[in-house]
Structure 1
Amino acid sequence: MTINHHPSDETLLRYASGTLDAGPRLVVAVHVGGCRVCAERVLQFEAIGGEMLDDIEPVEMSADALDRALARIEVTPEQEPSAPAGTKRRRADVGIRLPEVLDGCEVGRWWWIGPGLRWSRVTLPDDPGANVMLLKIGAGRKLPEHTHTGREYTQVLTGSFADARGRYVPGDLDEADSEVEHQPVVDSKAECICIAALEGNMRLRGFFGRMIQPLIDG
C-alpha cells in the first residue's frame, strides 16, 4: 500500500509534543500507526524536543511540589473509572475491523444522513466532547460541498475518494483547513469508510447540506 497524503509537519509536531487536541490526535494516531514515514518523523520531533529539554536550565522545585502533585492525581472511589484502563468499550458493528487505537473508544451504530451517506459517533474516554466520527459513503456518491471553521482530519480506512486536490486511498490522511472548500466523490467501485475529526465544525453548502447540518452538529 502506497501512502501519498500525510499530516503536515506542523500537525506531526503538535502530535509529538502532545499539544494536538484529543480528536485530531486519535485520527493522526491511526495514520502514524500505519505509515512508516510519519512514524519516523514523529520520532525525529520527539528527539528534538528531548534535546531542547536537556538544554533548559533546571529550576528548583518548591518544598511542597510533590504533595501538590500527588493531591492532583488522587482518585476517590466516586471518581474511579467504570472499567480498567485498556478495557475495550462498547463498539457497534460497523462492518469493518477498526484500528486498535480505537479500542478505548465507544463506537456508535450507523445513522442515515442522506442517500448513500451514513455516520457513526466515536466517543473518546478522555474527551467525550471531541468531534470524531466514522463516515460511510456509498460507491459513486458525493459528500455535500463543504468547508470548515477549523482543521478537518480525515483518514481513509477502506475504499477511496477524490476531490480537486487529489485522490485518497486507504492509509491516506486528508488535512483540510478553513481555506479549503471541496466536495469529495467516492470511487464508483466500492464504498468508502473514513474516520474524521474536526477542530471546528463542518459547514455544508447547498439545500441538502443545510438540511443535514443539524445531524452532523448533533
Structure 2
Amino acid sequence: MIKHHPSDETLFRYANGSLESGPRIVVAVHVGACTACAERIAGFEALGGSLLHDIEPEDMEPGALDHVMAMIDTGEASRAKAAPANRLPRADVGIRLPEVLDDCGIGPWRWIGPGVRWSRVTLPDDDSANVMLLKVVAGRKLPEHTHAGYEYTHILKGAFSDARGRYGPGDLDEADDDVQHQPIVDKEGECICIAALEGQMKLSGFFGRLIQPLFGG
C-alpha cells in the first residue's frame, strides 16, 4: 500500500508543466503506480481546462491553423526519422523498470561505497538532468545529508526508513532543505529507487564528503 505521495504543490507543477525534467520523470514513475495521485493530477488539469474555457476567444490570422498543422507534421516527421539514431544506451540493471523510463538511457551499476551502487538515468530531452537509480544492500545506512533544494525519491524495490517514517515500494519521498536525514535500508532485502535532485545534495561525514562530487557538490 502506497503511503507517501508528492505534495499537492508538486502535483500541480507536474500538471501545469512547470516541474523540472528530473523531478518530473520521478513523479511520472510514481503517478504510474499511484491511482490517487493520477486522479489528483487529472483534477488539476481539469481545473486548468476550465479556466481556459472561460477566456474570451480571439480571431485567428488567416491561414494560422494550416501553418500550425504544417509545423506539427514537419516536427513529427523529423522526430520519427531521427528516433533510431537518438536511441539512448540501456544497461541491464536487474529489474523491470517502469514503462515511463523506456526512452531514457540507463547506465551500468557503478560502485560509490560499501553496499551502494548507482546508475545514471539520461533523459532523452534533457541530458543535464540529475537523475539516478540507487541500489543499496539490506541493512545499509546511507550517508547523512540535507539538500539545497528538493530531492525526489521513488522506491522501486525494497524499503528504507528514517526519522520521518518507512518508505516502501511505490512511495515517493519528497525532501527539502529543512530535512536532514540518514536513510537505513530494511534488513529483509536490498532497496532500489529512482531519485532526482532539484538543487544539490549536501552530504555529511567523511564518506559523504568523499562521494559528494557524484551529486554535484
TM-score in terms of structure 2 length:
0.90
- Name the residue aligned to 2:5: 6
Q: What amino acid sits opposite 1:149 in the alignment? A: A
RMSD, aligned α-carbons: 2.6
Q: CA deviation at 1:26?
A: 0.6
1:206 paired to 2:200: no
Instruction: Report whether the alignment pairs 1:150 with 2:145.
Output: no
Q: How far has the Cα of 1:207 moved from its partner?
A: 1.2
- 2:30 is equivalent to residue 31 of structure 1: yes
For structure 1, which segment, 88-97 or 136-145, has the greater mean C-alpha deviation from structure 2 after superposition?
Answer: 88-97
Which residue pairs with 1:83 in the alignment? 83
Alpha-carbon distance between aligned partners in 2 of 1:146 and 1:69, rounded to the nearest angstrom = 49
C-alpha displacement of 1:216 = 2.8
Aligned length: 216
- What secondary structure is seen at the aligned counterpart in 1 of 2:111? strand
Cα distance in structure 1, aligned partners of 2:191 and 2:74 = 44
Q: Report whether the alignment pairs 1:40 with 2:39.
A: yes
- 5+ unaligned residues in a row in structure 2: which ranges? none
Residues 172-191 of structure 1: pairs in structure 2 closer than 5 A: 172-191=171-190
Other-structure match for 1:95:
94
TM-superposed CA distance for 1:113, in Å, is: 0.6
Q: Write the letter of the residue equivalent to 1:113.
A: I
Q: 1:88 to 1:28 in 2, by over 3 A?
A: same
Q: Provide TM-score, normalisation by structure 1.
A: 0.89
Q: Give, in whole Å, the separation in 1 of the partners of 2:92 and 2:22.
A: 21
Cα pair distance change 1:69/1:149, threshold 3 Å: farther
Partner Cα separation in structure 1 for residue 159 and residue 61 of structure 2? 55
Q: Who is 1:161 aligned against?
A: 160
Matches within 5 A, 1:129-140: 129-140=128-139
Q: Which residue in the other structure is 1:126 paired with? A: 125
CA drift at 1:90 = 1.9
**Letter matched to residue 51 of structure 1:** S
Q: Which moved more, 1:12-21 or 1:168-177?
A: 12-21
Determine the structure 2 residue equivalent to 1:109.
Answer: 108
8 Å Cα contact 1:152-1:177 kept in structure 2: yes
| Cα distance in 1 for residues equivalent to 2:42 and 2:79 | 34
Taking the aligned partners of 1:126 and 1:198, their CA distance within structure 2 comes to 17
Measure how far apart 1:89 and its partner are: 3.6
Q: Label 1:15 to 1:90 Cα distance change in 2 as closer, same or farther (>3 A).
A: same
Compute the displacement of 1:14 (Å). 0.8
Deviation of the 1:88 alpha carbon: 6.2
> What is the identity, as a one-letter code, of the residue corresponding to 2:188?
K
CA distance in 1, matches of 2:206, 2:103: 37
The alpha-carbon distance between structure 1 residues 149 and 70, as it changes in their structure 2 partners (threshold 3 A), is: farther
Q: Distance in 2 between matches of 1:199 and 1:64?
A: 42
CA drift of 1:80 comes to: 7.8
> Which amino acid is the alignment partner of residue 57 of structure 1?
E
Q: Decide whether aligned partners of structure 1 residues 198 and 64 sit closer, same or farther in structure 2, where only a CA change above 3 A counts.
A: farther
